[in-house]
Structure 1
Amino acid sequence: MFDFLLTEEQLKLRDEVRELVKWVPRQMILDMDKDKIKFPKEFLQEAGRRNLLGCRYPREWGGRGMDWVTTAMVMEEVGTLGYIFACTFGVGAELVCDAIVQHGTDAQKEKYVKPLLAGEIFAAECLTEPRGGSDFFGTTTMAEDKGDHFVLNGQKRFIVGAEGADYFLVYARTDHDPKTHPHKALTCFIVDRGPGVNVEYLYGLMGCRGGGAGRIVFKDAVVPKENIVGQLNGAYAVFNTMMIPERLGTAAMTIGAARPALDIATRYTSRRKAFGQVINQFQGVSFQVAEAAMLLDAARSLVYATCRAVDGGVNTNRVRRMVSETKKFVTESCQKVARNAMQVMGGIGYTNVFPVERINRDLGLASIWTGTSEVMAMITAHEWYREYHQAQSQCSGRDHELDAAEATAAEEKIYE
C-alpha cells in the first residue's frame, strides 16, 4: 500500500477493512471456489454491519462521505480475499448504489440504498445480453409503457448476483421507434426480484466462483414508474457515470486480488532452496518477483492518480480516457503479476497447495468484464486523439517536430 498517500482517517478505515478481511472464515473462501456457496450474503451482511459498504456516499444514505481515493483503498483490501469477494462487494455498493445516489430520487435512496449499504438487502447490475456485452446500446430487452407501470421482457446474462440479489438495475429500450437514436431510446430501471424475474441458468466459471453469476429472463415483469432511475429514455446519462465506478473500481480491486500472489511467491522464494542456495539468489527468480512488485506499484500509482482526477472534477473526456487506460493497464499487469508468482514457484504453484493457482484463474476475468481490454484501448485512442487535437489548437508552446536536422525538407513529408 501507498501509506504516504493516505490521511489518518483513511488509514484508520483501512485497518477496519483489514479486520473484515481477517474475519472471513477460510472455509468460506474454499466453499465459494467450489460453488458450495452460491452468493456470499454472510460476507456482505458483515461488511454492512461494519459500515464498510459504499464509503464515498453521503452519510444520510448509509455511507461515510469519503472520496474515490478512499474507495480504491477499500476495494484493494477487499480484493485480497479473492476477486469474487470484491466483485460482489462492488457490484451492489459501488455500481448499483452509484446509479441511484447520482440519478435516483430520495425515495429510491431510502428504499434501496440505505438497506443495501447496511447489508440488509443485495443488488445486481443487468447490462450484458446474450448478443453481446460491449454493444450496450444494441440492447434488445424491451419495456412497454402501460400507464402507471412498465412491462419488461428480455434477458441479461453473466450477471454477478443473479443468484442472491433482491433487486436489479436493468437497462431496457423504452422508445420503440427504430429511427430513434439508441442513446435516446433506453431507460434505467430498478427491478425487484419477483414474478416475471427468473434466473434460468447459473454459469460454471473457470474462476470467480461463488458470486451467483447467471442468466436472468424477464417475462412480463411489472415495473412501477417510480422505479425509473433518472429520466425516461435517459439511460445514457446513467451509463456514462456508472462507467467510472465500474472500471475504476475494477482496477483497484484487481490490485488487491494480485497482491497475495506476490506475497506468497516472495515468501516461498525466500525459503525454497535449490542447487545449494535459496532460489531468490537466482536472477531468473528474483527479477520476476521484482517485475511483479514494479507492476503492482505502477498499477496502484495509476489508480490513485485517476481517483484524484475524478475527485478533483477533471474534464469528463480526460477522466474517460484515464479510467479506460487504468482499467486496461492494471488488469493486464496484475495478470502478469499472478503468472510471475506461479512461474517462480514452479510446479507447486500449479497445485491447490497454494492459492496462487486460484488467483490466476480468478484474474482471467479482470481484463474481460466491465469492458474488455480491446474496448478500453478503443476508448483511450479515441479520447487521446480528441484531446491531442484540441490541445494543439490552443497550444502556443514549442513545435518539437522542427527539432530535426532535415525538418524543413517539406518534399519528404508526404501524408497522402
Structure 2
Amino acid sequence: MFEFTMTPEQIALRDETREFAKSVSREYILDMDADKIKYPKEYLKECGKQNLIGLRVPKEYGGRGLGWEEDIIALEELCVNGYMFGCTYGVTGDVVTEAIVHFGTEEQKKKFLIPICKGEKFAAECLTEPRGGSDFFGTTTIATKDGDDYILNGQKRFIVGGEGADYFLVYARTNTEVPPHKGITCFMVEREMGVKTDYLYGLMGCRGGGTARVVFDNVRVPKENVIGKVDGATPIFYQMMVPERFGTAAMTIGAVRPALEIATDYSTKRKAFGRTINKFQGVNFKIADAVTKLDTCRSMMYITAKAVDSGADPNLCRRLVSEGKKFVTEQCWDVANLSMQVMGGIGYTDVYPIEKILRDMRLSMIWVGSNEIMNVIVQHEWYEERKKELANNTKRNSELDALNAFDEEEKIYE
C-alpha cells in the first residue's frame, strides 16, 4: 500500500476496513463461491452497522462524507475476500447512492440513503438488457404515464443484487417521439411494487451476489420515485460512469492482491533443483512484473481520485476513469495469470484460491461497460482534448522539429 500518500485518517480507514475484511469467515467466502449464499445480506448488514456503506454519502444521510481517495482505499481492502464482496458493496453503497445524492430530492435522500447506509435495505442498478449492455440509449424498457404514476414494463439482466435488493435504480424509455438521449427517465423502483426476479445466473466466478434477470411486468411506480427529471436520465447516466467504472477498477486491485501474496509466499517455500524457486529468474521476474503492474494500477487510481475529488474538468475525469477501468482490470487479469504460472499445477487446483481469483477477475473486463467501450471513450476525449490544444496554440509544435519539416510536397493527406 502507498502509505506515504495517505493522511493519518486515511491510514486509520484502511486499517479499519482491513480488520473488518479479516473478520469474515472462510466458510462465508466458500459458501458464496458455491452459491450456497445467494446474496450476502449478513455481510452488508454488518457493513452498515460499522458505518462502512456509503462512505461518500453526506453524514446527514448516514454516510461519512468522505471522498474518492478514501473510497478506493476501503474498496481495495474489502475486496481481498473476493471480487463479489466489492461488487455488491459498491453497487448498493457507491453506485445507486451516487444517483440519489446528486439528483434526488430531499425526501428521496432521507427515504433511500439512510436505510441503505445502515445496511437495512439493499440496492441494485438495472442497466443491462437482454439485447445488450453497452448500448444504454437502446433501452427497450418502457415506462408509460398513467395519471400520477408510471407503468413499467421490460427486463434487465445480469443485475448484481437482483436476487437480494430492496431498491432498483431503473432506466426506462418514457418518450419514444424524441431521440433516446432525450427520452429516458431514471426511477427508484421498490421490490414491493411488484418487481420479479425470474432467473438467477450460474456464473463462472463472482458468485453469491444475487446476479439475476429482473422483470418489470406492469409495475406501477409513483412519480415521487422519479430520480432527477422526467426524460432527463442522460446526465444521471454520465454521472454514474464514475462510481461504476472507477469503483470497478479500484476493487479489482484488492481482489487480485491475494494471488500475488500467495504466489510470493509459495515461491519462498517450494523447492526445485535444490533451491527455492524464488531464486530462479523465470519465477522471480514474474513476481516483479506482477508487483509493477499492481503498483502502476494504484498510482493510476490515486491520481484519478484526486482529479475527481478536486473537481477537475469533467471530460478529463471521464477519460481518466475510462482509462483506469480498462488498464487496471487488464493488468489485474495479468497478475492473476502470472501468479498461477508461478504456482504451477497446484495453482490450477482448489488447494489454493488462485483459480477462484482468476475466475472472478474475468468479469472485471466485461461488466459496467466493456473495455472496448472504454477505448471508444478514451479516444474520443483525447481527440477533443488535442483539438483544443491546437486551437489554443499553447504547446510547442514538435512537428516542425524535423530536418525537412517544411517540405510540403511530402506531406500528403489525401
Residue identity over aligned pairs, in percent, reads: 58
Once the two structures are superposed, residues 193-236 of structure 1 have per-residue CA deviations (whole angstroms, 9 ceiling, x without a partner) of 02531111110000000001010110000101000000010000
Aligned counterpart, 1:12:
12
- Give the counterpart letter for 1:34 in structure 2: A
1:236 counterpart (212, 234, 237): 234
SS in 1 for 2:366: coil
Q: 2 CA distance for matches of 1:234 and 1:82?
A: 36
Contact 2:193-2:221 at 8 Å conserved across structures: no
SS in 2 for 1:152: strand
1:400 partnered with 2:398: yes
Q: 3-12 or 189-198: which moved more? A: 189-198
Once the two structures are superposed, residues 351-398 of structure 1 have per-residue CA deviations (whole angstroms, 9 ceiling, x without a partner) of 000001000000000010011110000100000000001111112332
For residues 264-283 of structure 1, the aligned pairs below 5 Å read 264-283=262-281
2:297 counterpart (277, 299, 305): 299
SS in 2 for 1:217: strand
Aligned positions, number: 414
Aligned counterpart, 2:83:
83
Contact 2:304-2:317 at 8 Å conserved across structures: yes
Aligned counterpart, 1:190:
188
For residues 2-401 of structure 1, the aligned pairs below 5 Å read 2-177=2-177, 180-401=178-399
Contact 2:161-2:212 at 8 Å conserved across structures: yes
Q: 2 CA distance for matches of 1:274 and 1:137?
A: 56
- Give the counterpart letter for 1:400 in structure 2: S
Unaligned runs of 5+ in 2: none
Q: 392-401 or 234-243: which moved more? A: 392-401
- Give the counterpart letter for 1:382 in structure 2: H
Please, what is the CA RMSD of the aligned residues? 0.8
Q: 193-202 or 315-324: which moved more? A: 193-202
Superposition deviation, residue 413 in structure 1: 1.1
- Give the counterpart letter for 2:175 in structure 1: D
SS in 1 for 2:156: strand
Superposition deviation, residue 6 in structure 1: 1.0
User: CA, structure 1 residues 403+24, in 2 after alignment: closer, same or farther (shift >3 Å)?
Assistant: same
Contact 2:389-2:395 at 8 Å conserved across structures: no
SS in 1 for 2:216: strand
1:409 partnered with 2:391: no
SS in 2 for 1:271: coil
TM-score (norm 2): 0.99
TM-score (norm 1): 0.99
Q: 2 CA distance for matches of 1:61 and 1:183?
A: 31
- Give the counterpart letter for 2:381 in structure 1: E
SS in 2 for 1:191: strand
Runs ≥4 residues deviating over 6 A: none
Superposition deviation, residue 181 in structure 1: 1.1
SS in 2 for 1:201: strand
SS in 1 for 2:81: coil
Q: 2 CA distance for matches of 1:345 and 1:202?
A: 33
- Give the counterpart letter for 1:60 in structure 2: E
Q: 2 CA distance for matches of 1:362 and 1:268?
A: 21
SS in 2 for 1:268: helix
Superposition deviation, residue 65 in structure 1: 1.2
